[in-house]
A and B are shown apart, each in its own frame.
Chain A
């Protein structure tokens, strides 16, 4: 072969080599371009998120209820730790495990989480200064770990107002579906923390690192500082809240003493008083001034995560529920206010009486005997077998005469509208009036998990018979059912907040407010983001006379010698004449023997009665008599409201009264 040919052959070989290079270039740059482009992006830029401090919660006077405190934390930066599967990562996990005293498996889990989420995850939450220094000094031994101040939720007043504030915790599966919540974030799980979570949460900060091949930070590309959440300003007054909680605790203690065993445990003693619940409302605008459910918990325990044992111990007493809006109770005699207003507005008076204040009045015996339409003879017993003598509507409220209110129910029932057109009143006239004042529906207070209670009527009765047989008795809806309902028994159920709100509506002249815990949502600069203005759910038309007479009669309950709350308010001090209220004792039929049937004690107070500023509802579960236990508890709160902190006196049992 001639040299020229050989060189030609060489040229072909060389050309082929160039061809191979171009083909490979085509494969990498054109066919696999997208993959490589993405890889390059991931290579160079890492994003981590930094937690935002939650917004503060302050009472109406600016006192801090929930805030954030900076704590030193060792955090793992998902962008900077060695990659998964490298020996460097194993080493880091070992060192962190030794440093933090956490099992290597858990540490690894957290670190891998941080990597996959691209977040900063706290390994040790509350670092001592010397431990923090150690991490900083031996920086190279802990790649990707740094010591930073992180915002930690704190509730400086401990248990105070915890039922309102709620608590925070890990997000559940539902929360994580939201775009702005990651699995390592914290969310509000109850109370305001939950209701206003979107406002309080703030916006996580982002740090964009540009990294080189060794995961060294070349530049911090963009750093967006976390935006703290908005602050909440409450209608709640810490002073009132404190007295409410103290009084409820003392009331519960009193109830337990009355029960005979102050150390009793509700878990194994079915008659032991369980809890005391209270609400203080401003009847002029629906502001929630205080709300509590005792016993309660310290929300600080949730900040670092609550242990299973502690959780079990506390949930046994259901302390995490806010019974002021989640607890439903038979309102008993406090519910007579509805029949009272109905009677005045609809001019329904027991047959014997033509005028509500006529001298003759109605003779309130200890028992009411009457025949039902089917001819059967019925006997209803008043709460006291002696009766109350001659009473009119006012006297009936003052003494809590059951018979008078039964007669109102009977009057409605007997003269109810029939299918054939005879009769005057709607059969569910009383239910209609109760619903106007907010029973049987949620009040719409800005707290989560509110329940709506129950106002039984024929529809409900028949539907329940159909849908859940066994829950109610057989047979038709009768006048007896209405008679039970009119005194707040039978199946009537209401939350303490509903009860307080209904009283607020009656004494303010008919405006049913939507209760409001938060007054304003304010950002960090003090700019008002949202204002919770007073919102009327409805206006109930009430004659001024009705309102005035109701207020006067409530005052008689407290001040008249025959009033059911008279003894409880004996040592009220000044201004007792400005206090009105209504007692209630709900018969709860739960146990198999009579000894296990422990009544619920209730009291709703209003003050000052000539121009009401406060409505106080107190419910003591298994507390017994309302006049004996609930009224004295409410008294102490009203003492504070009218006469200030210096006027408080010890809670002592009142007379046993309905």
Chain B
């Protein structure tokens, strides 16, 4: 009986590294999303800028600079090896906390009733965006020590502490959306670390109770309550103003129809009906101008990104890399679902940017870095499927 021989790269015991080849699907999806983002930011900002007598490309150009910077960050992060990243975890975590504290000091800049920014010369950085990445890395480092199916309650407690410190700082800004992202990421990473059913139920209950408790706490800034209560009970009077954004956003997306109105043909977009359209509500520009077809394609690109990240996680060489890839996937997923869901009136208004589309430098950079870290997990995956490396 003839034995079929397969051509294989010889894999020696000492040769466990494969040439660093990028995940082309992921990179193309990332680039495509960024390009759509530049186009959408341009179409959403140009009419207003023109009306004010300014250069129509002003906002788009600023955004494009961040996109280029983001590409560089992505490439850089893709090359970082898990080992060195894990060693830097405590440092990155502390740095994030320092940034979050600085925001609350006079160094922080107040914009739209919230101080989330630090001015660095002409740049305004938003430490909370980077804090999300830091939390992913920190949690990955913490939970990488857990052996399969041996997640203990103390792990959950420690993960809770790692998550809660930046959350509290963010809560004081206030930025409810970011708190929820961090909580979601933590939950997902704990799940992949091997929660028991009991632990899973506990986590879910804690999440629900925690969110509800926040609503009851008077400390919650009025506008957060308004946005949330209005969403939960649209019959309230305050719904009128708080739900305005979402009503207009739904009208904008809905009026796009199947094929969309075409670029610059969106009346809702052109006439500034949707507030914060280049940032939080950028998806309305997609929906109105490109229609169901375009919006679905954009969602498909996100699905590809999440799929590639999860695939990277499955093939990760070590536990830490796997958790980081899962954390990044959860990060992307949560932002996409909450942001798009908000424009479609499925979710309350939270102010989470849409990855790679929303105009906003810090978020774009932080997400590029996060995506790069996930990409790095793919690049540095084990040549032998299933092999784990203990760092």
Contact = CB atoms under 8 A, between A and B. Distances in A.
Interface core residue of B258, B292, B322, B336 (most chain A CB under 10 Å): B292
Contacts of B149: 1
B348 interface: no
Nearest to A86: B240
Contacts of A60: none
Contacts of B340: 21
Interface stretch (A12-20, A140-148, A149-157, A320-328): A12-20
Given A3-B148, A37-B255, A213-B248, A28 B271 contact: no
Contact of B254 (A6, A33, A210, A213): A33
Contact of B275 (A36, A37, A213): A213
B256 A29 contact: yes
A3 B306 CA distance: 17
Interface stretch (B1-9, B72-80, B121-129, B186-194): B186-194
A36 B273 contact: no
Nearest to B323: A3
A285 B319 CA distance: 111
A4 B148 CA distance: 11
A271 B326 CA distance: 109
A434 to B, nearest CB: 70
A8 B191 CA distance: 12
Interface in B261-314: 267-268, 271-273, 275, 287, 291-292, 295-296, 299, 302-303, 306-307, 310, 313-314
Contacts of B250: 28, 36
Contact of B271 (A1, A14, A22, A212): A212
Interface in B193-246: 194, 244
B299 A33 contact: no
A43 B251 contact: yes
Contact of B251 (A8, A40, A212): A40
Contact of A6 (B191, B275, B291): B191
B251 A30 contact: no
Contacts of A33: 254-258
B333 A14 contact: yes
Contacts of A44: 267-268, 271, 273
Contacts of B333: 14, 17
Contact of A29 (B272, B295, B299, B319): B295
B323 to A, nearest CB: 9
Contacts of B306: 11, 14, 18
Contact of B292 (A10, A30, A39): A30
Nearest to A18: B303
B363 to A, nearest CB: 20
A646 B228 CA distance: 90
Given A10-B188, A40-B255, A15 B314 contact: no
Contacts of B303: 14-15, 18
B258 A40 contact: no
A129 interface: no
A580 to B, nearest CB: 76
Interface in A19-66: 20-22, 24-26, 28-30, 32-33, 35-37, 39-41, 43-44
Contact of B337 (A21, A25, A35, A218): A21
Contact of A7 (B192, B272, B273): B192
B176 interface: no
A369 B322 CA distance: 136
Contacts of A1: 149, 194
B287 A210 contact: no
Contact of A22 (B257, B272, B299, B319): B299
Contacts of B254: 28-29, 32-33, 35-37, 39-40
A17 B192 contact: no
Nearest to B339: A21
A7 B287 CA distance: 31
A483 interface: no
A590 interface: no
B326 A29 contact: no
B267 A41 contact: yes
Interface residues of A, number: 38
Contacts of B292: 25-26, 29-30
Contacts of A26: 292
Interface residues of B, number: 50
Contacts of B268: 40, 43-44
A218 B299 contact: no
Interface core residue of B191, B271, B296, B330 (most chain A CB under 10 Å): B271
B314 A7 contact: yes
B344 A25 contact: yes
Contacts of A43: 248, 251, 267-268, 271, 273
Contacts of B191: 6, 10
B142 to A, nearest CB: 16
A32 B256 CA distance: 11
B194 A11 contact: no
B291 A29 contact: yes
Contacts of A422: none
B299 A210 contact: no
A211 interface: yes
Contact of B257 (A4, A21, A29): A29
A39 B330 CA distance: 36
A2 interface: yes
Nearest to B337: A17
Nearest to A28: B254
B120 to A, nearest CB: 33
Interface in B159-205: 188, 191-192, 194
Interface core residue of B51, B254, B275, B307 (most chain A CB under 10 Å): B254
Interface in B344-381: 344-346
A22 B273 contact: no
Contacts of B248: 43, 213
A28 B333 CA distance: 22
A6 B273 contact: no
A7 B310 contact: yes
Q: Which 9 A-B pairs have the closest CB atoms?
A: A36-B254, A40-B255, A29-B292, A33-B257, A28-B254, A37-B255, A24-B344, A36-B255, A44-B267
18 contacts: A2-B148, A4-B314, A6-B191, A6-B192, A10-B191, A14-B333, A18-B299, A18-B303, A20-B341, A25-B287, A26-B292, A29-B287, A29-B291, A40-B252, A40-B267, A41-B267, A43-B267, A213-B272
Interface of A: 1-4, 6-8, 10-11, 14-15, 17-18, 20-22, 24-26, 28-30, 32-33, 35-37, 39-41, 43-44, 210-213, 218-219
Given A21-B340, A21-B346, 4 more contacts: A1-B194, A28-B254, A30-B292, A40-B267
